[in-house]
């Protein structure tokens, strides 16, 4: 009850966290990525592109490109329109247009695990294999719970002051990787006007081209020199992880677990399955070339 009264006070001051129930404006554009998919890198790229003469710092990222989970209602009202907003959510039909960043779930698992350990949401004693079987692939219930549980950085804020700004603790939930990707593809996979699908791996290998596509979609000035300076600014802030880390980092059982459940989703988003590679090798001797 006390927390509800505190919420009420925050509500009056419009200091409550926007979360999933953010009041959307018709010209809002969303950047959506499942946690561990390189969303923060995309966010930095776009934020730099919005104003290349003012490189991003830790303090100006939220006012420039806010996410749903840290900024209050009052804060959102002050953001300059058209707003570009970062989100981890499954399909939300109120998002008029969205850029969706998808990444190989095997790399997502590795990245999510490391982020979770850093942020404290994954126990230090937990191995990557355990994380995949008991958390990453625990698809029978929505991932991460009702509120701030899903992200280490948000979990670090779990004090009364923050929680009293949440509408009964419910920020949203990214659910599982497969559900998140499928919900967006299912709703908008055939409508490139409302959903721009970007693969992390393409963004890594040809950032100029991919950022150009994103700039065109948003739309932001897509002049090559602007894109170049946005890229350089983002690069100097943090280097993105190279794709394919799972090949050395992820145990085979975890690879199998991911592919057996989400194999077709991976195929549809252009990720070759390791189990298919094995089959190809086995067919090798029978081919006429050998």
Partner 1 sequence: MFNHLWSAARYTLERDPSLRRHEVWPDDIFLVSFPKSGNTWTRFLLGNLMNCDTSVGFTNIERVVPDIAAFPRADFRTLNRPRVIKSHDCFDPRYRRVIYIVRDPRDVAVSLYYYAKKVKNVEDSLPLDAFIERLFVPGRSYNGTWGEHVGSWLVNATNIAEFSLQNGDARPGAATSPHSKMDVPGARGHGREFLLVRYEDLLQDTQAELRRIAEFLGLEANPEQMQRAVERSSANAMRKLESAQNLQWQTTRETRKDIHFVREAKSGQWQTALGASSVAKIESAWGHLMRLTGYELASIT
Footprint on this chain of partner 1 (rule: CB under 8 A) = 4-5, 8, 11-12, 20-21, 24, 26, 90-97, 139-143, 167-168, 170, 173, 175-176, 178-180, 182-183, 185-194, 197, 261-265, 267-270
**In sequence order, what are the beta bridge partners of 100?**
32, 197
Give whichever of 187 and 231 is closer to partner 1, judged by the CB atom: 187
Could you tell me the smallest distance in angstroms from the CB atom of residue 58 to partner 1? 31
Which neighbouring-strand residues pair with 98? Answer: 30, 195
Closest distance of CB 135 from partner 1, Å: 14
213 token code pair: 């596509």
- Neighbouring CB atoms inside 10 A of 254's CB total 24
Is 189 exposed, middle or buried (CB count within 10 Å of its CB: 0-12, 13-18, 19+)? middle
Nearer to partner 1, 6 or 249 (CB): 6
Nearest-CA neighbor of 10 among 178, 168, 212?
A: 168
8 A C-beta contact, residue 42 and residue 101: yes
Least CB distance to partner 1 at residue 208 (A): 19
Q: Which is nearer to partner 1, 17 or 233 (CB)?
A: 17
What is the closest distance, in whole angstroms, from the C-beta atom of residue 175 to partner 1 in the complex? 3
Nearer of residues 172 and 207 to partner 1, judged by Cβ: 172
Least Å from the CB of residue 112 to partner 1: 16
Classify the phi-psi angles of 136: left when phi > 0, otherwise alpha if psi is within -120 to 50, otherwise beta.
alpha
Q: Are 7 and 165 in contact (CB under 8 A)?
A: yes
| Whole-Å CA distances, 104 to 9, 19, 38, 47, 262 | 43, 26, 11, 24, 11
Nearer to partner 1, 56 or 255 (CB): 255
Nearer of residues 233 and 258 to partner 1, judged by Cβ: 258
What is the nearest approach in angstroms of partner 1 to the Cβ of residue 235? Answer: 27
């Amino acid at each position: 009850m006390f927390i509800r009264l505190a919420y009420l006070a925050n509500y009056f001051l419009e200091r409550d966290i926007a979360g999933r129930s953010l009041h959307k404006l018709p010209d809002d554009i969303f950047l959506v990525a499942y946690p561990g998919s390189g969303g923060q890198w995309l966010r930095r790229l776009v934020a730099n592109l919005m104003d290349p003469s003012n490189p991003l710092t830790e303090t100006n990222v939220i006012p420039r490109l806010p996410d749903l989970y840290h900024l209050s209602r009052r804060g959102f009202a002050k953001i300059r329109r058209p707003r570009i907003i970062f989100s981890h959510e499954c399909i939300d039909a109120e998002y008029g247009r969205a850029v969706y960043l998808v990444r190989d779930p095997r790399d997502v698992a590795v990245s999510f695990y490391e982020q979770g350990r850093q942020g404290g949401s994954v126990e230090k004693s937990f191995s990557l294999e355990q994380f995949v079987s008991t958390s990453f692939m625990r698809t029978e219930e929505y991932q991460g719970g009702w509120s701030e549980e899903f992200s280490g950085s948000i979990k670090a804020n779990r004090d009364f002051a923050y929680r009293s700004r949440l509408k009964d603790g419910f920020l949203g939930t990214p659910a599982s990787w497969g559900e998140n990707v499928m919900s967006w593809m299912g709703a908008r996979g055939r409508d490139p006007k409302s959903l721009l699908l970007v693969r992390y791996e393409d963004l890594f290998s040809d950032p100029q081209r991919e950022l150009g596509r994103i700039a065109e979609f948003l739309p932001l000035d897509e002049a090559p020199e602007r894109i170049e300076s946005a890229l350089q600014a983002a690069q100097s802030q943090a280097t993105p992880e190279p794709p394919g880390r799972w090949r050395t980092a992820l145990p085979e059982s975890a690879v199998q677990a991911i592919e057996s459940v989400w194999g077709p989703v991976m195929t549809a988003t252009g990720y070759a399955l390791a189990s298919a590679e094995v089959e190809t090798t086995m067919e090798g001797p029978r081919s006429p070339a050998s």
